[in-house]
Amino acid sequence: MTEPDWGATAQDWLVRLARCSEPGPGVTRLPFTPEHRTALVVLTDLMQQAELNVSLDAAGTLIGRLEGPIGAPTLLMGSHQDSVREGGAYDGIMGVVLPVLALMKLRAEGLRLPFAVEVLAFADEEGVRFPTALMGPRALAGRFEMAALDLCDREGITLRAAMEGFGLAPDEIPGLSRDPARVMGWIETHLEQGPVLEQAGKALGIVTAICGIERHSITLTGQAAHAGTVPMRLRRDALTGAAELALAAEDLARATPDLLATVGALQIRPGVVNAVPGEAVMTLEIRSPSDRAREIAGAELTDRARQIAQHRGLNLSITRSYAQSATQCAPDILSRLSQAVSDGGQDAVHLPSGATHDASAMADLCPIGMLFTDCKDGISHHPDEYVSPQSMTCAVHSLTRVIRSYDPAPPQKPD
């Protein structure tokens, strides 16, 4: 049988999956939505073509399982199905498609594994619809906080209502936690979402660590007023207060090694040309591979926000709405991935991940590792996001080799 062009096959499936989106530029596929539902139909089709047993768990994770011998442990692979708003066609979902194709390739080669493999499509990694994320991996790790079910999206729909409306039973989430002794590890494939691999001329990279992240929800309240009648000295302008805080965050991050700070969302009210903004609602996100540096920066910017509110006569509400620690990748998986990539004739580039991933939460359950593909111009979270079929073929081959590396029996077959 001629070897399929796995990268082209992946591209075909990703084009189909990209159509599972709200109308508009790029891909918008949020968790527990009609778009999520149609993506599950396509993924189920793909997983069944790979002869995997397909199920959906109470946290909305689609599971494609290749059964192993009775009592054998399980190797977990996969990523997330959701996207950001107007995002790309590869972020997350490519990390579900590629391991399924790797299992398809191994089956075509007649390999029977002495362990089970599951490919997981988590519902929500981006945390775009709800002010929380990672419910799937947190459920498997026994770390899901049921209070998160009461959090609302911007339409006021609770996570619980969205999950129940999707046909799930969120009260069964606590029962999803896995026995760490039965899990061999988590290997996630993801595009780099940055320019490092492409600039190094490498298709693949091996992740050494995943940065930590914290998010603050901030509301500054002043006084909406007529833009033509209120003197500057008498204004309580919420937007200029928010702008001063945003610039303070930028200054701090520029001055601090390995620290990133972003004000990604800002809504003002009343938001009309001839009124002084009375309210500014903003997000502040801080990332670093060092949890200590991130927490110091978070405290410093919280103090700064208080000072700004005080000298501008604004009311301030600031809450740290989300935090996850930096995560080190497991040395054993790192070396298996490095060997798998170099056996394919590529020298593996080791790099940290500035983006966070499902792997960050899976680290509470088992050893984790990540395989990166390069991406065009380092673009991600954007409709122009692109990974070449050639890079995806390299990734499928490396994934088959890393799966085989857990099989003590036959020597590695050439690709």
Cα 161 to chain center, whole Å? 23
Nearer to Mn ion, 7 or 92 (CB): 92
Which has the closest alpha carbon to 97: 373, 401, 408, 407?
A: 373
Ramachandran angles phi, psi of 208, nearest 5°: -90, -40
- Cα–Cα dist 199/177, whole Å: 40
- Which partner, Mn ion, ligand HGY, none, binds residue 356 by CB below 5 to 8 Å per kind? ligand HGY
Task: Name the minimum Å distance from CB 359 to Mn ion.
Answer: 10
Cα separations (Å) of 188 from 7, 53, 93, 112, 334? Answer: 17, 20, 11, 22, 12
Candidates 57, 82, 91, 214; binder of Mn ion (CB under 5 A) is 91
Based on the shown chain and the rule CB under 6 A, indicate whether residue 126 belongs to the binding site for ligand HGY: yes
Based on the shown chain and the rule CB under 5 A, indicate whether residue 214 belongs to the binding site for Mn ion: no
Segment near Mn ion (CB under 5 A); pick from 86-94, 160-168, 221-229, 270-278:
86-94
- Cα–Cα dist 92/385, whole Å: 12
Instruction: Determine if the peptide bond prior to 23 is cis (ω within 30°).
Output: no
- Which partner, ligand HGY, Mn ion, none, binds residue 92 by CB below 5 to 8 Å per kind? Mn ion
- Cα–Cα dist 318/97, whole Å: 39
Place of tokens 């609770």: 158
Ramachandran angles phi, psi of 311, nearest 5°: -75, -10
Pattern 35-74, binding to Mn ion, x per CB under 5 A? Answer: ----------------------------------------
Candidates 31, 60, 92, 278; binder of Mn ion (CB under 5 A) is 92
Nearer to ligand HGY, 162 or 355 (CB): 355
Q: Which helix (H) or strand (E) segment is 372 a member of?
A: strand 368-373
Based on the shown chain and the rule CB under 6 A, indicate whether residue 118 belongs to the binding site for ligand HGY: no
Task: Name the minimum Å distance from CB 72 to ligand HGY.
Answer: 32
Nearer to Mn ion, 91 or 192 (CB): 91
Task: Name the minimum Å distance from CB 8 to Mn ion.
Answer: 23
Task: Name the minimum Å distance from CB 385 to ligand HGY.
Answer: 11
Task: Name the minimum Å distance from CB 324 to ligand HGY.
Answer: 10
Task: Name the minimum Å distance from CB 128 to Mn ion.
Answer: 9
Task: Name the minimum Å distance from CB 379 to ligand HGY.
Answer: 13
SS3 call for 119: strand
Question: Where are the alpha helices (H) located in 201-325, listed in sequence order?
Answer: 238-255, 291-312
Nearer to Mn ion, 86 or 295 (CB): 86
- How many chain residues interact with Mn ion (CB under 5 A)? 2
Q: How many CB atoms lie within 10 A of CB 306?
A: 12
Task: Name the minimum Å distance from CB 28 to Mn ion.
Answer: 12
SS3 call for 288: strand
- How many chain residues interact with ligand HGY (CB under 6 A)? 4
Q: Name the residue whose CB lies closest to ligand HGY.
A: 355
Strand duo 327-328 + 204-210: pairing: antiparallel
Which neighbouring-strand residues pair with 122? 80
- Cα–Cα dist 32/124, whole Å: 9
Pattern 342-361, binding to ligand HGY, x per CB under 6 A? Answer: -------------xx-----
Cα separations (Å) of 298 from 169, 178, 214, 262, 326? Answer: 36, 33, 8, 12, 15
Segment near Mn ion (CB under 5 A); pick from 39-47, 87-95, 195-203, 385-393:
87-95
For Mn ion, the binding residues (CB under 5 A) are: 91-92
For ligand HGY, the binding residues (CB under 6 A) are: 125-126, 355-356
